[in-house]
Amino acid sequence: MPLRLRYVAGVNPAKWLRAWGERRADLPLEAARVEQHEQADGIATGDVDLAFVRLPIETEGLNVVPLWEETPVAVLPREHPLADRAALTVADLHGEPLAPVQPDAAMTVELVAAGTGYAVLPHGVARLHHRKDVVAIPLSDAPTTRIALVWRVERDDDDIQEFVAVVRGRTARSSRGATDEAPAANPKATRAAKRATAQRTTAQQAAAKRASRARSRRRGR
């Protein structure tokens, strides 16, 4: 039975899916994108094994690994007076109408294009639903959102943890919770190695002195 993964719109899991395929060809991973209003569907019931979600969600009974923060953007019609700005603040949009928010973000963007107002979306969502008749401008002082990986506490097995390791960038040799950094040196072993090096150096210097005295005696004959 494959691992069942869901990811909220705005997340691109392609690199992790490729890595999983190379690492665990024996266990297929079934991935599907969902809209934000349905991002947690199936987790509590066990129909989904893992999910990339946009916080906040109800996390009772779930393991949660916070990942990255998303920059908010204002989506405006391309003909809007503010459309040529490199960045905006919340105050810049004061008095501007908001487009009606739809469960499907693509529909919200379509309403923006139709001139009903502006929308505030995570950058990844705006990029996913990009259109030529709208622009997405960073909002410098709006709250960010965060993507997290979640799974049920009772589903916390080796297969799940291996996918978590892939997302966190750990190699196949890394143990659970470990990093890929070299292990710290053993202090006793380090001191022993230093003593051995010092002894070799002393011996080499003594041998060089003996050879030099021998050459001097031969020249004096």
> Is position 56 within any domain?
yes
156 and 205, same domain (yes or no): no
Please tell me the predicted confidence (pLDDT) of residue 86: 96
Residue 161 and residue 62 share a domain: yes
As given in the structure block, the two tokens for residue 151 are 């799974």
Q: Are residues 119 and 151 in the same domain?
A: no
Q: Is the pLDDT of residue 101 over 80?
A: yes
Q: Based on the fold, state whether residues 79 and 48 are members of the same structural domain.
A: no
- pLDDT at position 45: 85
45 vs 127, residue with greater confidence = 127
Per-residue confidence (pLDDT) for residue 211, from 0 to 100: 53
Tens of pLDDT along 154-175? 989 999 999 999 999 865 544 3
**64: CATH:** 3.40.190.10
Kindly state whether residues 40 and 94 are assigned to the same domain.
Answer: no
Whole-model pTM: value is 0.71
Q: Within this chain, do residues 44 and 101 fall inside the same structural domain, yes or no?
A: no
